[in-house]
């Protein structure tokens, strides 16, 4: 899925709190706020300021810390501003000064002339870099929308999928009643962060924590069960596919056959759960979550059971000839 267009104005408009806050404000170059950020990375333009522009990463956000600021003041005091002019000859997305540093007036004049936004933050360079890279990584992460319900069960994110009417929402509602949490119903947006972590959330924040129950209508989970019954986002760690019971299909009864589902290039453990009257699917999902946690701790119930059975068979096979010879006397 293509990444949405993300501008400098979008960066300024991000509603981020506490440890995610960037504390950004625009100093000049406001007519360039619609410039698009295309690469989720930063560049420290120290070499460019010294006049070396080979392989200059001008497509990235340009970050000015105390070192770059000291060098700027030096070349401005010496009247060597050609490199600053050459810097702004490139279509930079924006320039950001950390530590509440005030850029030289000549830099601000050149930025205003070419329409390059110059931003300022109170954060230090290392902290700002880590926050911005984390935010840009999430924004530029590949994403996909899947029809299903995402719930958190015993700390694990379970994506309940299946055909319409199979009972996904009813299963999730029973899990919420049992103290687990809803992340999203009906349409789940999944993004791949850091190349191997799938984060799921509601595709629409307005209706994300509402559920449609056939015969009952739309219900508000937050108001019915409280804020402790919902989450904004959760890692997808198990896919539970609900399907109508098929008498002709052979279902795994031991659990040694590990199925997976490929989502954005990440393999996620998958369970195929047949649904029919009398089967308590919520309890099955609770057990699946606890079993998956045991697997992450190195304990695989199905494999251990299989090994115990093999040892028992080998033991009986070794005893049979002995008892057979004894019976012959």
Rg (CA), the chain: 29
β-sheet bridge partners, residue 36? 7
Active-site entry in 25, 31, 74, 147? 147
**Distance of alpha carbon 303 from the chain centroid:** 31
Cα–Cα dist 236/269, whole Å: 10
Catalytic: which of 253, 262, 325, 327?
Answer: 253
**262 labelled catalytic:** no
SS3 272: strand
Question: DSSP states of 102-151 as a string?
Answer: ---HHHHHHHHHHT--EEEESS-HHHHHHHHHHHHHHHTS-EEEEESEEE
Contacts of 328 (CB under 8 A, 6+ apart): none
Q: What length is written for the chain? A: 329
- 3-class DSSP state of 152: strand
Residues facing residue 211 across a β-bridge = 219
186 is catalytic: yes
Q: Are 209 and 202 in contact (CB under 8 A)?
A: yes
How far is Cα of residue 154 from the mean position of the Cα atoms in its chain? 19
Return the structure tokens found at 35: 């410039």
147 noted as active-site residue: yes
- The residue annotated as part of the active site, out of 185, 186, 231, 234, is 186
- Among 35, 131, 168, 180, the one annotated catalytic: 168
Could you give the CA distance from residue 174 to residue 187 in angstroms, rounded to a whole number? 19
Residue 28, strand partner residues: 118
**Chain CA centroid to CA 310, Å:** 41
Catalytic residues: 147, 168, 186, 253
């Amino acid at each position: 899925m293509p990444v949405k267009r993300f501008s400098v104005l979008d960066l300024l408009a991000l509603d981020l709190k506490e440890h995610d806050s960037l504390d950004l404000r625009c100093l000049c170059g406001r007519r360039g706020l619609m410039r698009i950020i295309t690469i989720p990375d930063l560049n420290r333009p120290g070499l460019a300021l010294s006049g070396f522009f080979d392989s200059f990463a001008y497509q990235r956000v340009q970050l000015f810390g105390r070192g770059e600021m000291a060098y700027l003041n030096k070349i401005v005091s010496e009247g060597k501003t050609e490199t600053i002019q050459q810097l702004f000859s490139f279509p930079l997305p924006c320039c950001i000064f950390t530590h509440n540093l005030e850029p030289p007036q000549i830099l601000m004049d050149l930025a205003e002339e070419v329409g390059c936004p110059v931003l300022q933050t109170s954060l230090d360079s290392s902290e700002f870099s880590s926050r911005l890279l984390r935010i840009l990584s999430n924004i530029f992460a590949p994403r996909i929308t899947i029809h299903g319900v995402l719930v958190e069960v015993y700390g694990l994110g379970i994506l309940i999928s299946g055909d319409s009417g199979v009972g996904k929402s009813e299963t999730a509602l029973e899990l919420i009643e049992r103290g687990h949490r809803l992340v999203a119903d009906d349409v789940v947006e999944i993004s791949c962060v850091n190349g191997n972590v799938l984060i799921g959330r509601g595709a629409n924040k307005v209706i994300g924590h509402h559920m449609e129950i056939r015969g009952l209508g739309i219900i508000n989970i937050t108001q019915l069960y409280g804020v402790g019954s919902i989450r904004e986002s959760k890692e997808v760690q198990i896919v539970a596919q609900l399907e109508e019971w098929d008498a002709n299909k052979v279902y795994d009864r031991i659990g040694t056959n590990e199925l997976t589902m490929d989502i954005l290039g990440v393999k996620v453990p998958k369970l195929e759960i047949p649904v029919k009257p009398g089967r308590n699917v919520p309890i099955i999902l609770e057990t699946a979550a606890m079993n998956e946690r045991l697997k992450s701790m190195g304990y695989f119930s199905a494999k251990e059971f299989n090994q115990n059975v093999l040892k028992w068979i080998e033991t009986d096979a070794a005893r049979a000839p002995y008892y057979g010879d004894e019976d012959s006397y």
